[in-house]
Amino acid sequence: MAYRPWRSTEAEEALNGKPLTERSAQAAAVAALAGASTHGYNDYKPELARQTLVRALLDARSITLTAAHA
Amino acid sequence: MRPFSYQRAAGLENASRLGLGTGQGQTDAAVQFLAGGTTLVDLMKLDVLRPARVIDLGPLSAAHSGIEANANGLTLGAFARMSDVARHPAVLAGYPVIAQSLQLAASAQLRNMATLGGNVLQKTRCSYYRDPSWNACNKRAPGSGCAAINGYNRNHAVLGVDDSCISQYPGDFAVALVALEAQMDLHGPQGARRMPFATLHTSPNHRPHIETTLRPGEVITAFHIPPGAWTRRSLYLKVRNRASYEFAMASAAVALDLDGDVVRSARI
């Protein structure tokens, strides 16, 4: 998705201190891809990347930490 | 494949001295380090990398392949094999995003050969970079242009590109490392140093043939992932054209510290 391994502090800042919901995850994903530029065949990628990040965040929210790890 | 000379490094000091010609990973560097070989040998057969000398780091492997998790975080030797780290119980339990990023990469055979240090330095899969019959590739032939910008760029990058190169970084493990704020230990001709992993890979900066901030002769010896409440609630999600043995079209490494549903701290 990126030229180099990419950290999105924009997405992190959009979430820190807020409840993690589908709506806030969406906002983080929009922030993460705000600087995207496409070149034709890869025009689909920002939307795919946004949906990937939303799903990753919601999946991480539902991880159950067992007592041994909590 | 072109003829080249082959030499085994006797130790770290020897490797750094023999590797002075490695440059910063440029395609035209006269000297290349060999670890697992899964990228280097492939690109030499394709005539993309054309080193005059190959320095085999294999003899360093035994001393730099440990996996250790404790209160100070997770330390991974740079010569650890991807498969060994992916199935290590302490990595699976405490740093699932690391285990998943390695398990979802490549094939079982490649994961058994490839080292962590080599993996983070894997070259792009851009088809114009990997095929020298295309003249225009600023990464392979500096100043020659970019065939991908107006070409078939379905799996090219959308973040961090410029008009000199739109190639995509292909790795998975490195995506997890930048999210978790990993540090990296290096050994070079001037001795050892530690640097933030996030500063290893450079932006294209109109000279995409220079890919890293490594200094000539520097060898990656270890990765260190600091501890944090977010490492256990972490995952790597990889979206691709087929379910296995395929590079990502999009991927995300996320690690969350939650207080109920409220995000105390996110790493993305």
Domain boundaries, chain A: 19-61
Residue-wise pLDDT for B160-183, tens only, equals 999 999 999 999 999 999 999 999
- Residue at B37: amino acid letter: G
Contact B93 A4 (CB under 8 A): no
Give yes or no for residue B28 having a pLDDT over 90. no
Give pLDDT, residue A66: 80
Domain coordinates in residue numbering, chain B: 60-123+170-267
A62 touches chain B (CB under 8 A): no
Decide if pLDDT at B135 tops 80: yes
DSSP code of residue B121: T
pLDDT tens across B144-165, in order? 999 999 999 999 999 999 999 9
pLDDT tens profile B31-56: 999 999 999 999 999 999 999 999 99
Q: Residues A5-51: pLDDT tens digits? A: 999 999 999 999 999 999 999 999 999 999 999 999 999 999 999 99
Q: Does A53 sit within 8 Å of B161, measured CB to CB?
A: no
Residue B93: what residue type? Answer: A
For every residue of B164-199, DSSP letters joined together read: TB-PPP--SHHHHHHHTT-EEEEEETTEEEEEEGGG
> Tell me, what's the ipTM?
0.96
Instruction: Give B162's DSSP letter.
Output: B
- Spatial neighbors of B143 by CB under 8 A, at least 6 apart, are none
* Tens-digit pLDDT profile for residues A41-70: 999 999 999 999 999 999 999 999 986 544
Of the residues B125, B159, B203, B257, the best mutation for testing chain A's interface (the one with the most A CB atoms within 10 Å of its CB) is B159
Question: What percent of chain A has pLDDT above 90?
Answer: 93
In this predicted structure, what is the pLDDT of residue B75? 98
Q: Do the Cβ atoms of B186 and B194 come closer than 8 Å?
A: yes
* DSSP one-letter code for B226: -
CATH among 3.40.50.150, 3.40.190.80, 3.40.1160.10, 3.30.465.10 for B60-123+170-267: 3.30.465.10
**CA-to-CA distance for B156 and B33, rounded, in angstroms?**
27
B75: three-class secondary structure by DSSP? strand
Residue B220 φ/ψ region, left for φ over 0, alpha for ψ in the -120 to 50 degree band, beta for the rest: beta
